[in-house]
Amino acid sequence: MPSFEQTWHGGGPLQGTGMEHLCSSTASDNVSLTSDASGSWGCGAWQNSNWFQLKWDEHSVQLHIAAKELIPIIIAAIVWGKNWKGCRVTVCTVITLQW
C-alpha cells in the first residue's frame, strides 16, 4: 500500500523553497512532522507513515489562518508526542499571511 506522502495530491509544505532538507529526518533521535492547513477545508499532518486530516467545523472555519496552522501541530503532539521523548522534533509547515 502506498504511503500518505506518495499519494498526497496537494502541494507539500516547503516544496520548491530550497528548504526541503529541513524536513528530512535521518538520525534515529530526530522526528520530522509535516503539517498544513487551509482557510476553508481543514488541516492535516504526517510523520513517517502516520497521518491524519481534519475538516473544519462551522466554528473552526472562522479562525485566523495562523491559528488553523497550529491546530494540526497541537493534535500531532497530543497523539504522537509520547513517542518524541528524547528526540529533536522539526515541524515543517507553511503559512502565508496577507494583512
What is the pTM assigned to this prediction?
0.70
Q: How many domains does the chain have?
A: 1
Look at residue 96 and tell me if it is in a domain. yes
pLDDT tens digits along 33-50: 999 999 999 999 999 889
Residue 24 lies in a domain: no
Q: Count Cβ atoms below 10 Å from residue 92 Cβ, excluding itself.
A: 19
Residue 80 falls inside a structural domain: yes
Is residue 17 one of the residues assigned to a domain? no
* Residue reference for cell 522539526: 90
At residue 15, the pLDDT reads 47
- Tell me the residue range of the domain where 38 lies: 1-10+31-99
CA distance 51 to 5: 9
The CATH code of the domain that includes 71 is 3.10.20
What is the phi-psi region of residue 30: left when phi exceeds 0, alpha when psi lies from -120 to 50, beta otherwise?
Answer: beta
> Is residue 2 domain-resident?
yes
**What backbone torsions phi and psi does residue 17 show, to the nearest 5 degrees?**
-95, -10
Tell me how far apart the alpha carbons of residues 32 and 25 are, in angstroms, rounded to a whole number. 6
